Amino acid sequence: MNNADNIFDNRFLLEWQLDAGVDEAVSDAPTNYFALKEQSAAAPPPSPTTRNQPPAQPPATKTPPYHSPSAASATARAIANNCNSITELEAAVRAFDGCALKKTATKTVFADGNPQGLVMIIGEAPGAQEDVQGIPFCGDSGQLLDKMLAAIGLNRGENTYISNMVFWRPPGNRTPSTEEITACLPFVEKHIALVAPKILILSGGVATHALLNNDQSISRLRGKWYEYQNQYLAAPIKTALLYHPSYLLRQPQFKKQAWQDLLMIKEAIAG
C-alpha cells in the first residue's frame, strides 16, 4: 500500500467515525491497548503476601442527582411559571439541571434572532456546531434554513426568532428522548408565550409531535395551518409546519414540498 492509499483509508475511517457520532477524542495521544494487554500478561504474579489482601477500593465518587421525568417536568413547570421575561427564562434554563442532556453537552443553546420578530421557529435540538457556538441552527442545516427564510423575506436579524425543543445537544446527534422533551417542554411553552409571535413555525417531526400533540408524519400534516395553544397563551397562534433542514439535506426530493409550504407562509405574512 502506498502513502496515498494510506491517507485515503485514514480519511475514510475518520468520516465513518464522524457519521457514527464519534466527535471527540479521549486524549490527545493514541493508546495502544494491545501493548497494554501484553504488558499485563507479562507482569509477575502477586506475591503470597499480597495475594490474600483485599482488593483496593476505588475512590468514592459523587453520584449526580437523579431526576425522574415527572419530577423534572414539574420542577421546570414551577420555574417557568415564575419567569416574566425572556431574560429570566434564559437564566432559568441555563441553571436547570433536570435534563440529562446538560451533563454531556458543551453549551446551553437557548435562542437566536429577534424576539420582537413576526415569526418564531421551533426546531429539534442543537447539533455539533450549535453545541460549540451556542447558537441554534448555525451548522449546515442552519445555512439552508437561512436561505429558505431569505427566499420569502425573512431573516433572524430582523423579523425571525429561532429556538429548539431541547436546549442541549443529544450525544451523537440522536433524536431527543420523550423524557428529555418532557423535561424541557414547560420552558418551550413559556418561551413561545413570552415571544408571542404572529406566526409559529414548527420545523421537523419532534417539534410537531410535541407541540401539536399529533404523532402523524410531517408529510401528512404539512401544507395547512394549525392553531397552537398552551396554558400561557391568551389566544392561539397561527402555526405552520416545515421539514427540518437536516432532513432536506438528506432527502432533497422534498424541497419542492418545502417550497410550497414557504409560499403558504409568505402569503400569510403578506396578508
* Per-residue pLDDT tens digits for 201-243: 999 999 999 999 999 999 999 999 999 999 999 999 999 999 9
The band of 23, judged by pLDDT with boundaries at 50, 70 and 90, is low
Residue with more model confidence, 69 or 70: 70
Residue 164: the pLDDT is: 98
The band of 64, judged by pLDDT with boundaries at 50, 70 and 90, is very low
- Position 8 in a domain: no
pLDDT > 80? residue 38: no
In a 10 Å sphere around its CB, with 0-12 CB exposed, 13-18 middle and 19+ buried, how is residue 30 labelled?
Answer: exposed
DSSP letter, residue 186: H
Tell me how many domains the chain contains.
Answer: 1
CA-based nearest residue to 21, from 177, 129, 173 = 173
How many Å apart are CA 122 and CA 235, to the nearest integer? 19
Those residues with Cβ within 8 angstroms of residue 200's Cβ, 6 or more apart along the chain or in another chain: 119, 120, 121, 122, 192, 228, 237, 238, 239, 240
- Position 122 in a domain: yes
Those residues with Cβ within 8 angstroms of residue 142's Cβ, 6 or more apart along the chain or in another chain: 129, 130, 135, 136, 245
- Position 79 in a domain: yes
For 189, the 3-state DSSP assignment is: helix
Mind listing the pLDDT tens digit for each residue in 167-184? 999 999 999 999 999 999
Q: Per-residue pLDDT averaged across 195-201, rounded?
A: 98
Residue with more model confidence, 12 or 215: 215
The radius of gyration of the chain from alpha carbons, rounded to an integer in Å, stands at 24
Burial 69-89 (b: 16+ CB within 10 A, else e): beebbebbeebbeebeebeeb
Phi, psi angles (nearest 5°) of residue 256: -65, -45
Q: Per-residue pLDDT averaged across 136-157, rounded?
A: 96
Q: Which domain holds residue 246?
A: 69-270
Those residues with Cβ within 8 angstroms of residue 115's Cβ, 6 or more apart along the chain or in another chain: 86, 161, 194, 195
Residue with more model confidence, 8 or 198: 198
Q: Domain containing 189 — which CATH number?
A: 3.40.470.10
Mind listing the pLDDT tens digit for each residue in 77-93? 999 999 999 999 999 99
Residues of the chain with pLDDT > 70, as a percent, come to 75
- Position 220 in a domain: yes
CB atoms inside a 10 Å sphere around CB 209: 19
Alpha carbons within 13 angstroms on the beta-carbon side of residue 179 total 12
- Position 45 in a domain: no
The band of 56, judged by pLDDT with boundaries at 50, 70 and 90, is low
- Position 49 in a domain: no
Mind listing the pLDDT tens digit for each residue in 97-133? 999 999 999 999 999 999 999 999 999 999 999 999 9
Those residues with Cβ within 8 angstroms of residue 102's Cβ, 6 or more apart along the chain or in another chain: 96, 108, 167, 168
Residues of the chain with pLDDT > 90, as a percent, come to 74
Helices 69-81/178-195 angle, 10° precision: 10
Cell of 173: 446527534
- Position 54 in a domain: no
Residue 42: the pLDDT is: 57
How many Å apart are CA 137 and CA 8, to the nearest integer? 31
- Position 74 in a domain: yes
CA-based nearest residue to 137, from 101, 161, 171 = 161
